[in-house]
Chain A
């Protein structure tokens, strides 16, 4: 069967999927488009930190995409096939990459056309979808949209200010009632103020406070009060910094919401770093607000500047478990674009290719805590700050708590006491890093 426009229209789940796909037909959104035999694949700049990987079999219209959409085929797969039907020459001939081979090995033949029947009663048209996209580019409509966005932004600032007033009062109440009471039962207290902040449109801050109990309760009891003081202090610094400069992109991201991936990629001030990156670890956790957070930590193997990067994605828990985009230890070459910040850390991948050759880790600084303190001065509200430790040993105190010990004798406490094997694949594993150092 040859792939045609009518076949794509038939398989699209609905007209809105076609309209969404038509907005993805710009070549700039597709850093990679390639083909081999009946297989076509590409990488599409979606809303995630990592471009979505899309593959389709033009022989039977089967497709697969790494995006979390429940629609099948999703808009990325439709767009990939649409571009191929319109101009197959824009797909470079290439060797089939491992992730496409992986999909080929697992797929059930014939599954591609299954969705066609579900939307059979609804008329769908690619031409209509392109008209919709053209309407969206109308200058007058664009001006109205911008004016509306500016008004919404002002409304949001006002609402957030009111929410932060409530948060200040809440913090004062917690101190007045004693931190022992707070660390004993932080869940309900945090839940209430987080809900208030959601109403006040401070969604990012609400999510942070909602997760505070799980961060505190993961610590030994005798460390919780000190951790609560640190958490409260960071909230105060963040609140007051935002009040001073509410339009600062970093502060807005921490308090209200993040920019879209497109905003980051098109931001001329954003830091671009092309390097070879190693995946240090991935942490997937379900948050109390129902979102799943997928954090992937990367180490720059090429240079000391911008040593670390964090890819951060969120998706609804109801979308089901997603397969990991990376495995710890993976290495790849990529151009990362960092979210603008005083000490950039969070990034999105603009382009990616396989790493060639062998690499070693960069030389760690003699005193890793100096870089840590500098980063903390730039962003004192940050909850997690990565650091590269020099050679050292893993040691334990009598109570069994594990520590990393430098040859000079200084020591840092490790969160996990025992090394875990591969069976905990979704977490960054500090004890293992320590063991690697001990082996070196």
Chain B
């Protein structure tokens, strides 16, 4: 086999340089095909395909196995429908986010052959955090698993681990978590800012109000809406009269027929 590999390499070098290769062919081949250079390339191509096998240039490192999720997969009987819904019909918006959130809310996870998050899918439910870390593993160093998250080591954590650590810290020490979120959220993209600020719903208190009020001028509509909602839960609903007037504008009362009064609601962004 080593002789064949050497012969194939010589043939390849000759053809790369535009030289006749017949002289470099194994003797048995030359006897069979004479001076037919095209027959030689047919033999070489086929031999390379079925008799030789490309070997890795360096030692192979096993990729880690896909981690298990803490949820059962969508039942086999429903996977077909799940895949059909995911395959976006022509001219219709993707249902991906809604569908993933829907099954996640019901305690189920997508089978990895049907759906996996991409590395940038920060919107994926927390359930998929182990997969997100697995997907991002080849570009990011492992999280400092022994240390508690802090403003100093925040960047060392993978996004999913960071969020998980912050959630745990928020449950244990809300003020410490608030300090990190307040210091770091501004540098995150909008999708991640939303996911960080969502963590504050656990043990939400008056201490958080000052930071939440600073988010009134955030660039993201979703961040502003989230902070308004949290402030409302703290009894700081802002200008309630203006909100009531705005809501009232969305409603109209109309008569339909002789006795039925219809109430129409118009949603506006």
- The reply to whether the CB of A90 lies closer than 8 angstroms to some CB of chain B is no
* Interface status of B173 (Cβ within 8 A of chain A): no
Q: Is A421 an interface residue (CB 8 A)?
A: yes
Question: Which residues of chain A are near B79, meaning CB under 8 Å?
Answer: 329
| 0/1 string, A225-237, CB within 8 A of B gives 1 | 1100111111011
User: Interface 1/0s, chain A 151-193, versus B by CB < 8 A?
Assistant: 0000000000000000010011001111111000000000000
Q: Are B49 and A327 in contact (CB under 8 A)?
A: no
Instruction: Check B83 against A233 for contact (C-beta < 8 Å).
Output: no
Report whether A399 and B18 are in contact in the complex, using a CB–CB cutoff of 8 Å. Answer: no
Are A331 and B115 CB-contacts (below 8 A) given A233-B44, A373-B50, A380-B46? Answer: no
Q: Contacts A234-B45, A236-B41 hold; do A422 and B57 have CB atoms under 8 A apart?
A: no
Within residues 216 to 241 of chain B, which ones have a CB less than 8 A from any CB in chain A? none
Q: Which of B61-69, B180-188, B255-263 contacts A (4 or more CB under 8 A)?
A: B61-69
CB distance A422 to B116 under 8 Å?
A: yes
Stretch in B86-94, B155-163, B191-199 with 4+ CB within 8 Å of A: B86-94
Contacts of A252 in B (CB 8 A): none
In contact, B18 and A321 (Cβ under 8 angstroms): no
Among B11, B17, B62, max chain A CB count under 10 A is at: B62
B60 adjacent to A323 (CB under 8 Å): no
- Which residues of chain B have C-beta atoms less than 8 A from A369's C-beta? 53
Q: Is the CB of A236 within 8 A of B39?
A: yes
**A168-B38, A225-B16, A323-B90 known; A394+B45 contact, CB < 8 A:** no
Residue-wise, chain B 24-60 has the 8 Å CB interface mask toward A (1 for contact) of 0000000000000111011111101110011111111
Neighbouring B residues of A399 by C-beta, 8 Å:
57-58
Q: Is B58 a contact partner of A398 (Cβ separation < 8 A)?
A: yes
Q: Is A377 an interface residue (CB 8 A)?
A: yes
Most chain B beta-carbon contacts within 10 A, residue among A171, A324, A423? A423
Set B42, B62, B80: member contacting A237, Cβ < 8 A: B42
Size of interface on B: residues with Cβ below 8 Å to A: 53
Q: Which residues of A contact B65 (CB under 8 A)?
A: 393, 438-439
- Is B12 located at the chain interface by the 8 A CB criterion? yes
9-residue interface stretch from A56-64, A115-123, A403-411 = A403-411
State whether A179 touches B16 (Cβ < 8 A). Answer: yes
With both beta carbons as reference points, the residue of chain B lying nearest to A376 in the complex is identified as B50
Interchain CB contact under 8 A, B45 and A232: yes
Question: In whole angstroms, how far apart are the Cα atoms of A232 and B41 in the complex?
Answer: 7
- Given that A168-B38, A236-B38, A419-B135 are known contacts, is A321 also in contact with B90, CB under 8 Å in the complex? yes
Evaluate contact between A175 and B116: CB separation under 8 angstroms.
no
Q: Which residues of B contact A425 (CB under 8 A)?
A: 86-87
Distance in Å: Cβ of B234 to nearest Cβ of chain A: 39
* Any B CB within 8 A of the CB of A247: no
For B211, what are the chain A residues with a Cβ–Cβ distance below 8 Å?
A: none
Distance in angstroms between the alpha carbons of A257 and B184 in the assembled complex? 63
Determine if B84 and A233 form an interchain contact, defined as CB atoms under 8 angstroms apart.
no
Q: Which residues of B contact A358 (CB under 8 A)?
A: 76
Q: With the chains together, A400 CA to B61 CA distance in Å? A: 10
Does the CB pair B66–A439 fall under 8 Å? yes
Interface residues of A in 288-338 (CB under 8 A from B): 321, 323-324, 327-331
| Contact (A372, B113) CB under 8 Å given A395-B61, A413-B56, A422-B86 | no
List A contacts of B43 (CB < 8 A).
Answer: 233
Could you say which residues of chain A place their CB within 8 Å of the CB of B49?
230, 376, 380
14 interchain pairs (CB within 8 A)? A175-B15, A179-B16, A180-B17, A231-B45, A327-B87, A329-B114, A358-B76, A398-B59, A405-B62, A412-B53, A422-B114, A423-B118, A435-B112, A438-B65
Q: Known contacts A179-B18, A377-B50, A394-B62; can you find 4 more A-B pairs with CB under 8 A?
A: A225-B15, A234-B42, A373-B50, A413-B54
Closest 6 CB pairs of A and B: A233-B45, A178-B18, A395-B60, A236-B42, A398-B58, A421-B116
